Chains A and B, each alone.
Chain A
Amino acid sequence: MSGRAIPSDFVKSVLQNGAGRYVCQLQRLTFKFCKSSGGSRGTRDYIEKHLIDFSRENPGTAVYIQPRRHHTARVVAEFLNGNTVVKNINCLNPDDIMKWLEHLRTRSGIEIVRLRKSQHTDSPSIQGVWTPWTNKDSSMNISDYTDKKLLEMKRDELTATEKLLELAKNLREKDMKKTT
C-alpha cells in the first residue's frame, strides 16, 4: 500500500489532558435502535440493565435514547473537539457493547490514523537549535578576512626547503663559534 493512500499524523493529545486533572472528552451518547427487531436486542438489554449505572458513573456525558423503527442499532458519540463517531452495535451482546462504550469514553476524540513516529515534542531543542554561529569564535566579528594569515593553508610540519634552511643556519652558527 502506498504511504500516501493512508492518512497519517503525529502523536497528539488534547491540551495535555491527564497531565494534571483529567477531563472526559466524551460529551454526548445517542443510542439509536429498534424496539422490535432481533438485531438490537442486545442494545435493549444493555439499556435496561447497565445504562443508568453508566450515566451515574459519568455525569459529564449526556445520554439520549432514540427508538427508530426497523433500523440497525448504533451509538453516536460526540466529543469535545466537535468530532462525531458512529459505532454500529447491531447484533452485539450487552457485554460487547459495554466494552465499546468504554473505548468511546476513554478516547480523546482525535481521529485514529497511522502514526509517523511513536514520539513527538513541541519543543525539540532545549539548548537551542544549531545555527551557523553556535560553534564559532566571537573574535570573528571583528576580523578582517582579506588578511593573508586566515586565507593561507594551515600546516603542522615545515617544508623541505625550510628544514634545509634551518639546518644550514645551525651549521653556519657552529662554524662561527669554532672560528671565534
Chain B
Amino acid sequence: MAHYRVQQWSTFARTWWLFDARWQCPWISARTIIPYLQGTKKPIYHPLSDTGDHVIVINTRLIAMKNERWITFKHIHDSRYRPKGVIEKRAWQIHAEEPTKIFEKAVYYSMDKNLLRRNLMARLHLFPDESVPEDLLKNVSDCIRQPMLAPKRLDEYTEEDRRNFPKLFDWPKDFVLDDGFRTKKQIEFQEP
C-alpha cells in the first residue's frame, strides 16, 4: 500500500521547536526541553523507535543562575594525566569563553544516561543570541514556553514607575543591612 508509506512519514515527522533561554535557569529549562528531544511528548513514543524532535535554543548567553551559582558551580574535566590532568573551571569562566557550553552541559547531564544521549544531543541547536541561520529557522513550527518568569530589570522601569513604587516601611536608623555571608578570602581581606 503506497499511502501507508506516506502516512508513516507524517506520523514520524520531526517537528522543530524554538526555546528562548533569556533569564532561565539552565537546569530547570533542561528538564522542560528533554521530553521534546526524547519524543515522550508524542503518543507514538517507544524507547526503541526514533521519535525525538529538534529544539533550537536562543539567547543562551542571557541565562540566569541563582545565589552564588556563577561562582560556586564548577565543571571538572579529568584527562587522567596526573601532574596537571584535572581542569577545574567556574561557571562564569566557562560562560565567558563559550556562552553555549553551560546550557549544553546542563541538558547533557540531566538526560538519561544511555547510548541514545549523544544522538539526542545532536538535535539540540544552541545559539548565544537571537541570530539563527535562516535555513534552521525556516523549519520551526512551534515553540516551547519558558518554565520561569523573566524578571524585569531596574533600568527597564520608567522613572515614573520607580517614583510611584509603593514604599511599605522604613528601615530603622540603627539597622545594618548585611546578609551575613562571607567567603574566607573576604574575611581575611577585611580583618587581616
Residue of A nearest to B164 (CB): A168
Residue of B nearest to A136 (CB): B142
Does B98 belong to the interface (CB within 8 Å)?
no
- Check if A145 sits within 8 Å of B11, measured CB to CB: no
Query: Given contacts A130-B11, A131-B10, A146-B130, are A164 and B166 in contact (CB under 8 A)?
Result: yes
Bound-complex Cα distance A146 to B57 (A): 11
Query: Given contacts A130-B43, A130-B44, A153-B149, are A140 and B142 in contact (CB under 8 A)?
Result: yes
- Check if B142 sits within 8 Å of A159, measured CB to CB: no
Which stretch from B12-20, B61-69, B107-115, B180-188 is at the chain A interface? B12-20
Residue of A nearest to B41 (CB): A132
Q: Among the listed A130, A131, A136, A165, which residue makes an inter-chain contact with B166, where contact means beta carbons less than 8 Å apart? A: A165
Interface mask (B126-156 → A, CB under 8 Å = 1, otherwise 0): 0000100000010011110111111000000
Query: Given contacts A129-B7, A131-B13, A151-B18, are A145 and B143 in contact (CB under 8 A)?
Result: yes
Chain A contributes a number of interface residues (CB within 8 A of B) equal to 23
- Check if A140 sits within 8 Å of B145, measured CB to CB: no
User: What total count of A-B pairs have CB within 8 Å?
Assistant: 58
Central interface residue in B43, B44, B141, by most chain A CB within 10 Å? B141
Chain B residues within 8 Å of A132, by CB: 10-11, 13, 15, 42
For window 154-180 of A, CB contacts with B under 8 Å fall at: 154-155, 159, 164-165, 167-168, 172
Residue of B nearest to A151 (CB): B20
Query: Given contacts A130-B44, A154-B145, are A167 and B166 in contact (CB under 8 A)?
Result: yes
Bound-complex Cα distance A132 to B42 (A): 8
Bound-complex Cα distance A160 to B148 (A): 15
Bound-complex Cα distance A62 to B69 (A): 88
Query: Given contacts A152-B146, A159-B149, A167-B166, are A145 and B15 in contact (CB under 8 A)?
Result: no
Interface mask (B98-130 → A, CB under 8 Å = 1, otherwise 0): 000000000000000000000000000000001
Residue of A nearest to B141 (CB): A140
- Check if B15 sits within 8 Å of A152, measured CB to CB: no
In the complex, how many angstroms separate the beta carbon of A136 from the nearest chain B beta carbon? 7
- Check if A150 sits within 8 Å of B44, measured CB to CB: no
For window 45-88 of B, CB contacts with A under 8 Å fall at: none
Chain B residues within 8 Å of A164, by CB: 166, 168
Query: Given contacts A131-B10, A131-B13, A145-B18, are A152 and B145 in contact (CB under 8 A)?
Result: yes
Chain A residues within 8 Å of B7, by CB: 128-129
Interface mask (A48-80 → B, CB under 8 Å = 1, otherwise 0): 000000000000000000000000000000000
Residues of B within 8 A of A (CB): 7, 10-11, 13, 15, 18-20, 42-44, 130, 137, 140-143, 145-150, 164-166, 168
- If A150-B145, A153-B148 are given as contacts, then 12 extra A-B residue pairs at C-beta distance below 8 Å, sorted by A number, are A129-B11, A130-B11, A130-B43, A131-B13, A132-B10, A132-B15, A140-B141, A151-B18, A151-B143, A159-B149, A164-B168, A168-B166
10 pairs of A and B residues whose beta carbons are closest in the complex:
A168-B166, A151-B20, A153-B146, A131-B10, A145-B143, A145-B18, A132-B15, A150-B143, A129-B11, A153-B149
Q: List 10 A-B contacts (CB under 8 A).
A: A129-B11, A131-B13, A145-B142, A146-B137, A150-B143, A150-B145, A151-B146, A153-B150, A164-B168, A168-B166
